[in-house]
Amino acid sequence: MNCELILERIAAGERDSRAPSADIDAHLSVCADCRMRAAAAETLGRQLRDALLWEEPSPDLAQRVLDGVAGDAGSRPSRRPWWLAAGVAAIAALVLGVGWMTGRPDWSVDLVAGPAAPGDAGAIVSGWNTSEGTRMIFDVSGLDDAPDGNYYEVWLTAPDGRHVSAGTFNRPGRFEVMAGVRRGEYPRIWVTLEPADDDLNPYPATVLDTSGDDD
Amino acid sequence: MHRFQRGDPDAVRVLYLRYSRPVFAVALRSLGDRSLAEEVVQQTFVNAWRAAARFDPALDPAPWLYAIARRAAVDIYRRERRHRENRRDETDMAILPPSFEGLWETWEVRSALDDLPEDERAVIEATFYRQLTHREAAEALGIPVGTVKSRSHRAFRRLAGLLQHLGQETA
């Protein structure tokens, strides 16, 4: 039987219908590949049947956006060139002694701006659960470079308040860090702006924090 | 993206054409209101424009724009809720409603739809969203039933290939 056709029928919701087709379940019982892909097909079908997904923005919205950008053009800040931040992030990864992860992450989570960050700051964290702990790739945007004498520090915190540091960085960008604990036991991921001192605890200046929903 | 990163206002139009629908879909799903969702779209592109100098144009802009869009939606959600409740206590607003969950999935599916050829997207819309049979879709689109079936299979293969990670368990 054609696997793509089976997955299409699963996406169309045949398994949820009042009279589910027995041939779909029969095929799944013998096809490991389709069993692996069935959940994705069901999710895809559910999304495609959702009216929200098909809504279009108003035709005049493009002009309103362009007008908004034009009105803002004079206030666009000048920043360090992107390649400088990218270079620093790449060097940071090398210093940490870890290579870029490849393959699909086990989870991803959004970090949103905390009280000590610009409103457009944010990060997407992609994570891998490993036998050594938790590897994470951060894509940080919207943060300013850490002021002289300060640095950003990544923390993982358990529900009972225990926390561990997963690494530090100075500029937004893409970089990788490693924590020697399991994400499941330390679900909160957050970032503080730290003064360079001897205090090993998080400084109360949260710049990024877990938004509460994993994808 | 190089032009956008350098501050070329014309590049905003290109970015808007490519990403306005995923931004709008994420905003509409999280806020459930077209007017507020369009406000999120405006805010997203203006904020992206302001922050463009810090963006590496060699990277995929989608995760970056998604983060900005989600942040804008969170800000507008909190503003509206404050406005409705007429108070400034944000302690009970730290937890976002379920509509904010799974937004990246919405972004990915909408983006994948936009990548389909127009004729294939029309068939997917007819058969999945409008839930027409192949025969009904053929009548509605004015094409043979066989064409509906072949376009539907082709489009679904593309979507399933791009989105085969959907629905996988996360931590």
Q: Which of residues 1-60 of B touch A (CB under 8 A)?
A: 5, 7, 9, 12-13, 16-17, 20-21, 24-25, 28-29, 34, 37-38, 41-42, 45-47, 49-59
- Whole-number percent of chain A with pLDDT over 90: 11
Distance between CA A66 and CA A80 in Å, rounded? 25
Contact residues on chain B for A40, CB-CB shorter than 8 A: 160, 163-168
CB-based contact B49 A72, cutoff 8 Å: yes
Residue A76 lies in a domain: no
Residue A176's CATH number: 2.60.40
Cβ-contact A169, A136 below 8 angstroms: no
Pair (A100, A13) in one structural domain:
no
Query: Are A61 and B41 in contact (CB < 8 Å)?
Result: yes
pLDDT at B2 over 80: no
* pLDDT tens for each residue of B83-131: 776 655 544 445 677 777 788 889 999 999 999 999 999 999 999 999 8
Which residues in chain B have their CB less than 8 angstroms from residue A85's CB?
54, 56
Q: Is A89's pLDDT higher than 80?
A: no
* Rounded mean pLDDT, B139-168: 88
**Residue A123 shares a structural domain with residue A48:** no
**Residues A25 and A116 both lie in one domain:** no
Whether A34 and A115 share a structural domain? no
Q: Mean pLDDT check: name the lowest of A78-92, A174-188, A196-210, B90-104.
A: A78-92
Inter-chain contacts counted by CB atoms under 8 A, chains A and B: 217
Q: A9 in a domain, yes or no?
A: yes
The span from the CA of A25 to the CA of A35, in Å, is: 10
Residue in B closest to A33 by C-alpha: B164
Q: Which of A2, A3, A211, A214 to mutate to test the interface with B (most CBs of B within 10 A)?
A: A211
- B24: pLDDT confidence band, cut at 50, 70 and 90? very high
A141·B68 Cβ contact <8 A: yes
- Whether the predicted pLDDT of A19 surpasses 70: no
A88 & A43 share domain: no
The ipTM assigned to this model is 0.83
Enumerate the H helices of B2-133 as residue ranges.
2-6, 9-31, 34-51, 61-85, 103-115, 118-124
In this structure, is residue A74 part of a structural domain?
Answer: no
By the CB < 8 Å criterion, does B82 face chain A? no
The predicted-structure confidence for A114-160, as pLDDT tens digits, reads as follows 888 887 888 888 888 887 788 888 888 889 888 888 889 999 998 88
Minimal C-alpha gap between B36 and chain A (Å): 11
Residue A61 lies in a domain: no
Domain count, chain A: 2
A69 contacts chain B (CB < 8 A): yes
Q: Give the structural domain span for A131.
A: 82-214
Q: Confirm if A112 and A122 have CB atoms less than 8 A apart.
A: yes
- Cα–Cα distance between B76 and B98 in angstroms, integer? 16
A195/B18 Cα distance (integer angstroms): 41
DSSP A66-134: HHHHHHHGGGPPP---HHHHHHHHHHHHHHHT-PPP-S--SEEEEEEE-TTS-TT-EEEEEEEEETTEE
Q: Which phi and psi angles does A45 have, rounded to 5°?
A: -60, -40
The listed range with the strongest mean pLDDT (A102-111, A206-215, B55-64, B135-144) is B135-144
Local confidence band at B7 (pLDDT 50, 70, 90 cut-offs)? low
- CB contact at 8 A, A37 and A51: no
**Amino acid, single-letter form, for residue B121:** R
- Window 93-112 of A, Cβ < 8 Å to B: 104, 106-108, 110, 112
Q: Is residue A108 part of a domain?
A: yes
Q: Is the CB of residue B68 less than 8 Å from the CB of residue A122? A: yes
- Is A55 in the B-facing interface, judged by CB distances under 8 Å? yes
Structural domains in chain B, CATH included, are 2-99 (1.10.1740.10), 116-162 (1.10.10.10)
Domain final residue pick, A37, A54, A71: A54
- From the list A57, A107, A141, which residue is nearest B41 (CB)? A57
Residue A84: pLDDT band with limits 50, 70, 90: very low
The band of B26, judged by pLDDT with boundaries at 50, 70 and 90, is very high
Looking at the predicted structure, is the pLDDT value of residue A210 above 90?
no
> Is it the case that residue B145 has pLDDT exceeding 90?
yes
Phi, psi of B169 (to 5 degrees): -65, 140
* pLDDT over 90 (residue B135): yes
**Does the pLDDT at position A21 exceed 80?**
no
Within a domain: A195:
yes
CA distance B141 to chain A (A): 17
CB interface of B with A, residues 131-170, below 8 Å: 131, 152-153, 156-157, 159-160, 163-168, 170
